[in-house]
A = this chain, B = another copy of it.
Amino acid sequence: MTTTATTLKGQPLDKAALESLLRRRLFYTPSFEIYGGVSGLYDYGPPGCALQANIIDLWRKHFILEEDMLEVDCTVLTPHDVLKTSGHVDKFADWMCKDPKNGEILRADHFVEDVLESRLKGDKEARGQKVEEKEEDPKKKKKKSKGHEAVKLDDAVVQEYEEVLAQIDNYNGEQLGELIKKYDLRNPATGEQPSPPVAFNLMFQTSIGPSSNLPGYLRPETAQGQFLNFAKLLEFNTGQMPFASASIGKSYRNEISPRAGLLRVREFLMAEIEHFVDPEGHKKHSRFHEVEDIELELLDRHTQLSGKTTTKRMTIGQAVKDGLVDNETLGYFLARIHLFLKKIGIDQSKIRFRQHMANEMAHYACDCWDAELLTSGGWVECVGCADRSAYDLSVHAKKTGAPLIVRQRLDEPKVIEEWEVEIEKKKFGPFYKKDGKTIEAAILATSQEERGKLAKDLEETGKAVINVPSVGDGKVEVSKDLLAIKWQKRVENIREYTPNVIEPSFGIGRILYSLMEHNYWTRASEGGDEARGVLSFPPAVAPTKVLIVPLSSHKDFTPAVRKLSQKLRSAGISSRVDDSSASIGKRYSRNDELGTPFGVTVDFQTVKDATITLRERDSTRQVRAEEDKIIEAIRALVEGTKTWQDIESELPLFEGQQEVEVAVR
């Protein structure tokens, strides 16, 4: 496994150079920059937008179409009651503390992490060891402009700090407060110890309608809309289980102090699946056999709690068999997530699956594995895969009375024998008057065991004593002319159950950023003067597939360029024309930065014999052939049915243009 961020070619990653490229080429840009910007908000420019659309398109095909999932589009605005019931109003919070001197607001876990890591670095320096600087860790709340002091620590202290850091996500606010006191952690900006952590709810609040009486929030996840529509979706699916719904849309989290670029933002695109499954039968999955041999890097919770971060590589089949991953459905989705990340071009050596520790888990989850990707900001959670059990459907059903259940016709009717209560309503009410309802409820609430005893009393003594704490002395006598308890047999043809939910949840922006890092590299220019950036996106996700480069902006080339452009559009292949006055070499190198996998040149030869050259981004090698053959080659390359090697073996290599390119640089 790789352990530090590198380029695609294994070079150390120069993050500043990459970010400069990404902003220059408008992959993304801070929102409202001319107004000074707002931290945690970013806009995507044309290439970022196209990259995002292509990732979403592949996601839809890989998950929704492949498994006939039911896609829904629910509102972001969500009334208070829904998120109160789901637990988000009370529990969806981070811990924040305040510097008593300058009023700075700090996210508690990031603060503890920062200071301890800084001390460990100081220790390494004092011991004369090499210190690796991560630039802008997504979990860090500020750049350590103050740096760290070279102070040697006891070996035992070093080990203690490392153990704390390995389980930093597992502490609650009180525990973080204790760590701050225990290790006397101080804000480097002021030298002060911050105040004890308090919970800060991460939801953006607003008010719906003109009379301000309907408080609401921007959803923190797309899931709730899917749960609330469960009964309708089940009916749409003609009652068949299991099934999944899916949703692609924006969600919002009011991060305390986001300063990690696209890795921690306040508004983000999510793609979420809610797979509804019968909790009986160990959550088997009918297609698990298709993925069971796929190998994953797994970091389980026990390893982390023991203060380590070493992963185990094993097949998902083995992991489920060993009980490391709880069930087939969870395992199936971990493998499918892995395949998706591979398909879009994530570096295979930079993926691991990390299990959440108990305190770290969201309030609704009973198990959760994150797909983490290695970036310059360390290992970053990009996909969560949680087993939410029956939590959400149960709480909403309880609150609203809506039947969020599955009614399953049983193949073999089930015979049930049990004690049943019969109340003689006509006499019961008039006899007990105002206490009637309370006493009746107490009787109906009795257990089978209690009913057995009551039945015996009624039969033997003609009366029974019921415990009703709120009536009289708490004991109420009921005679057998008012109440009967009988041993009854009945046959059930229907089984009712609340499904469990397995939820793969994708942070598209984080995946997109990681993809850009994983596909970035630099190559020496032929003049040798400077390294030029390349983004080697797979053709399927590349923002634009083809750059069309006329030799010059001379009008002789216009008809050929227009025709080519039109033909590519009909073939469903996105292209852009660059007829600027820059040299061909410059124009190609601009498009290497944009990640455009193919380039075609229209030159004087084209005007004569309708042949064009095709250049491949990564090798910079070229072939030349008649226009339609080149278009066919591009189509095959984009659809993934042929490789560049195939094309080189089919079409004649071209080297003339290459020389021109060198010459004009």
Contact = CB atoms under 8 A, between A and B. Distances in A.
Contacts of A52: 73
A576 interface: yes
B72 A43 contact: yes
A476 interface: no
Interface in A72-86: 72-79, 81-82
Interface bin, chain A: 35 or more
A396 interface: yes
Oligomer: number of copies: 2
Contacts of A206: 204-206, 218
A75 to B, nearest CB: 5
Contacts of A81: 35
A574 B65 CA distance: 8
B96 A72 contact: no
B49 A71 contact: yes
A208 interface: yes
A477 B595 CA distance: 65
A73 B96 contact: no
Interface stretch (A119-127, A227-235, A555-563, A626-634): A227-235
A34 B65 contact: no
Contact of A38 (B25, B35, B214, B232): B214
Interface stretch (A3-11, A249-257, A364-372, A383-391): A249-257
B228 A77 contact: no
A235 to B, nearest CB: 8
Given A205-B207, A210-B200, A257-B210, A73 B43 contact: yes
A604 to B, nearest CB: 24
Nearest to A225: B43
Contact of A43 (B33, B50, B75): B75
Contacts of A29: 229, 232
A46 B70 contact: yes
A645 interface: no
Please give me the 3 A-B residue pairs with the lowest Cβ-Cβ distance, nearest first. Answer: A34-B402, A44-B73, A43-B74
Interface of A: 25-26, 29, 31-35, 38-39, 41-46, 48-50, 52, 65-66, 68, 70-79, 81-82, 96, 105, 200, 204-211, 214, 216, 218, 225, 228-229, 231-233, 236, 238, 250, 252, 254, 256-257, 266-267, 396, 400, 402, 404, 569, 574, 576-578, 580
17 contacts: A26-B232, A29-B232, A31-B75, A32-B228, A34-B396, A41-B77, A43-B73, A44-B74, A45-B70, A45-B229, A45-B233, A50-B71, A65-B574, A200-B210, A208-B266, A209-B256, A210-B254
